[in-house]
Chain A
Amino acid sequence: VALLKGTLDVLVLKTLSWTAMHAFEITTWLEERSDKRIVVDDAALLQALHRMEERKLIAAEWGVTKNGRRARYYRLTTAGRAFLGSESERLVDHFDALTTVLSSKKA
């Protein structure tokens, strides 16, 4: 499923709001939560992560996975948490409006 522009960022932030994760954990978490309906290209995910890191919505640190692999862990910053709050509200509202319009029946 192709994602709407800007939606990926919010989804990633939402994912990270649970705990700090590295890229593979994030994409796996999204797939599981959406019953595989949301599948993100890995390259696009990395782009999104780096973009948000520059905007200081998330911060990154190198860490070690359970399997003993070095990975870059991302966590939500205060600014990211605030952004997530306002953006998810906006998105939900947006989809609600879309749903209302698209599911209306001919009178």
Chain B
Amino acid sequence: VFSTMPRGIRRLLRLRRTRAGTLGEIDEELTSLIDARIEALTAQGMSPADARAEAMRRLGATFDQARAQLHRSATLRHRRMRIRELFDDFWHDVRYGARGLLRRPAFTIVAVATLAIGIGATTTIFSAVNTLLLRPLPYDRPNELMLVSLEAPSVGGRPGEPVEIWSYPKAQEFRRRQTVFSDLAYYSWEPATITGGEPELTRVEHVTASYLPLLGIKPAVGRGFDRLLDDRPEVAQEVILSDALWQRRFKANRDIIGTALHLDGVPYTIVGVLPPGFLGLTGQGNLLVPVTAGTTRRLSQPQNHWLDMVARRKAGVTDAQMRVTVAQLGREINEIFLTADMSGAPWGANARPLDAVRVAPLIKQSLLILFAAVAFVLLIACTNVANLLIGRASTRHREIAVRLAIGASRGRLVRLLLAESSLLAALGACAGLAVAAIGIRALAAVDPTALRMPRFDGVGGLTLSLVTLDWTALAFAVGLTAIVGISFGLVPALQATRASLVDAMKDGGGRLGHGTSASRRILLVVEVAMALVLLASSGLMIRSLAKLLSVDPGFDARNVLTVRLTIPPRGMAQDSMPAFHSEVLARLRGLPGVKSASLSSCVPLGGGCSQTLIKFLDRDPVPEGQRPLVEVDWVTPDWFNTVGVPLRRGRGFSATDGVAAPKVVVINEASAKKFWPNADPIGKRIGLGVDDLEEGAEVIGVVGDVRQLADSSAMPAAYVSYLQSPRPTAMVFVKSTRDIATLGPEVRRALREVAPVFPIHDMQFLTERVAAATARTRFSAVLLTLFAATALSLAAMGLYGVMSLAVAARTREIGIRMALGADQRRVQRAIVGEAAALVSVGAAFGLVMATIATRALRSLLFDLTPTDPATYGAILALLAGAAIIASWLPSRRAARVDPVDALRAE
């Protein structure tokens, strides 16, 4: 029977020649051949005994040998055949799977897209989390690296600063005395302009020669700085280029080594090029120059703090030993550099692992929240795929029943179903890889300066552009979706194989079995709930961002260039400062297109600068400790005008409010409201705990509020005039009518002419500073929104799938209802109503989950509680809209059912 059966049928029934069967056939054939020869020989007249002997001789071997030989060959052949069949089966399965997928392009596209989004998004974000939070820092033996800082004590109500930077003399002293580090290096970044050829504003890292060897970074081209420089600080005008600058400005030309590069007009010899991706620990090192190059004056100023210190802990030194030693050295250094004006508590020093400060806490939090969000997306993708596969399996009950009826084994069926799921998983993985690759590129393209972490807020060198595809994350995401998808797709199929064949084949209406229908509904509820959590989170972030951007910060940042100008200690007598500042501003106002130029001690939205205690001279004195605090900023008279802060009452400062004139202050509206709720503050006398204002100053005007922080309303503030209370540090504000992009070099040159030796640094557009203040919120909001949109569309697709299958399964029922007189609208309403019920249950669960989950967002929200009713209202409306669309399409199909067709169909 077996060999007469066509191969196709044999394959269909999965019947296979067994090895034992083959060997039996061989024995039979061998015997038959010998018998035939004996018969022929006896027919020729030979005696039976002779005939047998002759037949055995003609065999060519003994019977046993011949038989064993044939058996051995047959076994080998059988093994080869099995392998070939396995391979054939594999291809057959793949073709079967591909045919199945091609036959339902909509299902395939939805499933692959779902997988691609889930896998791609998870992989992207996890790659970022891994690079920024988890992976060891990309330096040599990173766990030994320490950030060594000075500690400032708390002064007059201001909290202490645990992470302070170093002056060069203090750092050198520390270096000489310390015993716990095998090596240490200082670094600091500054803006600089590459001159000669196209001028280019860039950022330069000043580093010791020990810096690169300490981190284990070797120049890709050329050499590093000579280590002897660190001990004999003779000025070496050498520069090392970053790979990016080298590629862009010098077209990766190796011959530039040894040639000159001009920085702010000073020639430096190019000695090396950094490896790709390394921009120094600050992330600002487009160029590296020795710490001793450039402004040399500060090398001898013990109170000019401008350096960060990184050190490598000696092997064998414990954490405790290190802490004790560093603290002790901090006290010693405080003693050595004690100055008359440094009253109060002593400064100290501490060391903390570089890894612990790698990323600003807010960035870390945002990333973790994004990671949670993306995990939700992955889960939703999983439920969606499971849902799709359950639907797919349930439409195949009949096919499965037929296959079982003609004798296919359960294992074989499972393999067939697996073939399709696996093919789907493979396609999804490929598409997911593509999505992840694009996502990681997009992350790297996020303007790094917009996300730049403020000083001390982590290793700036750790940026999103360093994020690389994490294959483990990809494998995990693919594995999870595959396992979830396959198990959900397989279980109902297996249940189907267990069900009565007769029932399955007979019952046309049973295509959507009760079990699978229920599990699909549960999955849908879960999916909706999770989507709602994501929607709520992103809704809150968007509302928060909108509020943040819509609040009037109180000033106009357009067309304003800012740069820090610092008079170093003992650089100038305090009395000369007003004249100097006036000269600086006069020079800047003389530049073409400059509308106004002024100074302020503080940048708006920069987090505030200094606070002091305020007292009211016309009121009873309040006990010490209960006196209110105000922000105090120094400005020149023109500043309010430069940044467009309106004068509300009284007058602003004038040039005549000088050192010798009566003391005057301007306050903001918040101060007026808080301190004089029912009175006119103009003319009132207050005392401020700064300089000589303790004795009293007259309030002459009230100006509009300027926010110190982007995410909170303005604090009470008092403004003091630079011309009356001179200060060495200032931020220069220049407002121009022309394109300020070209203004930078001119402002720098003008400042250099007036103040050739004073540090001029941190040049930025005011708009940049404002953008930086909202960058993190914007970044999180954009990504969360992306994930929420994904989640919503996945949930809508899931709903659509469930509802269209439900409609398909109930075609006959709907036909009967319509035949009995139900009108189209009623049928449609029933379908949409069913969907609404499912979505409502999901939304209810989702709301509960969301109120818990969004608590994690609290610290990221601006002026918004995590349970903001408006946000929840909006997202529920959005969800309802998506649900209606997703169920309306199948409902329309249901309403168009022709009763006659529907009843005839089965």
* A→B interface (CB under 8 Å): 22-24, 28, 39, 41-44, 46-47, 50-51, 54, 60-62, 65, 67, 69-72
Q: When chains A and B are docked, how far (Å) is the Cα of A43 from the Cα of B61?
A: 7
Among A42, A65, A70, which residue has the most Cβ atoms of chain B within 10 A?
Answer: A42
Contact, CB under 8 Å: B58 / A41:
yes
B23 to chain A, nearest CB (A): 12
Contact, CB under 8 Å: A61 / B77:
no
Tell yes or no: B618 within 8 A of A by CB: no
Contact, CB under 8 Å: B36 / A69:
yes
A29 to chain B, nearest CB (A): 13
B629 to chain A, nearest CB (A): 95
Considering only residues 30-71 of chain B, those with a C-beta below 8 Å from chain A are 30, 32-37, 39-40, 55, 58-61, 65-66, 69-70
Contact, CB under 8 Å: A43 / B32:
no
The chain A residue with its CB closest to the CB of B69 is: A43
* B→A interface (CB under 8 Å): 3-4, 25-26, 28-30, 32-37, 39-40, 55, 58-61, 65-66, 69-70, 73-74, 77, 80-81
Knowing A65-B36, A69-B36, say if A43 contacts B66 (CB, 8 Å): yes
Q: Which residues of B contact A71 (CB under 8 A)?
A: 29, 32-33, 36
Contact, CB under 8 Å: B33 / A54:
no
Contact, CB under 8 Å: A44 / B60:
yes
Contact, CB under 8 Å: A47 / B69:
yes
Q: Which of A54, A60, A61 contacts B81 (CB 8 A)?
A: A54
Contact, CB under 8 Å: A23 / B73:
no
For this complex, 12 residue pairs linking A to B, each with C-beta atoms less than 8 Å apart, are: A22-B33, A43-B60, A46-B29, A46-B30, A47-B69, A47-B73, A54-B81, A62-B3, A67-B39, A70-B28, A70-B32, A71-B33
The chain B residue with its CB closest to the CB of A54 is: B77
A-B contact count (CB 8 A): 72
Q: When chains A and B are docked, how far (Å) is the Cα of A46 from the Cα of B32?
A: 12
For chain B, what secondary structure do more than half of its interface residues adopt (helix, strand, loop), or is it mixed? Answer: helix
Q: When chains A and B are docked, how far (Å) is the Cα of A25 from the Cα of B249?
A: 88
The chain A residue with its CB closest to the CB of B22 is: A50
Q: Which residues of B contact A24 (CB under 8 A)?
A: 32-33, 36-37, 40
A40 to chain B, nearest CB (A): 8
- Known contacts A23-B29, A65-B36; 16 additional CB pairs below 8 A are A24-B40, A41-B59, A41-B61, A42-B33, A44-B60, A46-B70, A50-B74, A54-B80, A69-B32, A69-B35, A69-B36, A69-B39, A70-B28, A71-B33, A72-B25, A72-B29
Contact, CB under 8 Å: A50 / B25:
no
Q: Which residues of A contact B3 (CB under 8 A)?
A: 60-62
Q: When chains A and B are docked, how far (Å) is the Cα of A49 from the Cα of B567?
A: 103
Knowing A24-B33, A24-B36, say if A61 contacts B4 (CB, 8 Å): yes
Contact, CB under 8 Å: B70 / A47:
yes
The chain B residue with its CB closest to the CB of A53 is: B77
B60 to chain A, nearest CB (A): 3
B62 to chain A, nearest CB (A): 10
Q: When chains A and B are docked, how far (Å) is the Cα of A11 from the Cα of B65?
A: 25
Q: When chains A and B are docked, how far (Å) is the Cα of A43 from the Cα of B32?
A: 12
Q: Which residues of A contact B80 (CB under 8 A)?
A: 54
Q: Which residues of B contact A60 (CB under 8 A)?
A: 3
A54 to chain B, nearest CB (A): 5
A75 to chain B, nearest CB (A): 12
Contact, CB under 8 Å: B32 / A50:
no
Contact, CB under 8 Å: B59 / A43:
yes
Q: Which residues of B contact A62 (CB under 8 A)?
A: 3
The chain A residue with its CB closest to the CB of B66 is: A43
Q: When chains A and B are docked, how far (Å) is the Cα of A39 from the Cα of B58?
A: 9
Contact, CB under 8 Å: A28 / B40:
yes
Knowing A60-B3, A72-B25, say if A42 contacts B73 (CB, 8 Å): no
A86 to chain B, nearest CB (A): 24
Contact, CB under 8 Å: B37 / A42:
yes
Q: Which residues of A contact B34 (CB under 8 A)?
A: 42
Contact, CB under 8 Å: A50 / B70:
yes
Among B4, B29, B30, which residue has the most Cβ atoms of chain A within 10 A?
Answer: B29
B878 to chain A, nearest CB (A): 64
B779 to chain A, nearest CB (A): 65
B76 to chain A, nearest CB (A): 10
Q: When chains A and B are docked, how far (Å) is the Cα of A62 from the Cα of B61?
A: 25
Contact, CB under 8 Å: A51 / B73:
yes
Q: Which residues of B contact A51 (CB under 8 A)?
A: 73
Knowing A43-B69, A50-B70, A50-B77, say if A72 contacts B32 (CB, 8 Å): yes
Contact, CB under 8 Å: B73 / A50:
yes
Q: When chains A and B are docked, how far (Å) is the Cα of A54 from the Cα of B34?
A: 23
The chain B residue with its CB closest to the CB of A41 is: B60
A105 to chain B, nearest CB (A): 38
A57 to chain B, nearest CB (A): 14
A23 to chain B, nearest CB (A): 5
Contact, CB under 8 Å: B59 / A42:
yes
Contact, CB under 8 Å: B61 / A22:
no
Q: Which residues of B contact A50 (CB under 8 A)?
A: 26, 70, 73-74, 77
A28 to chain B, nearest CB (A): 7
Q: When chains A and B are docked, how far (Å) is the Cα of A28 from the Cα of B36?
A: 11
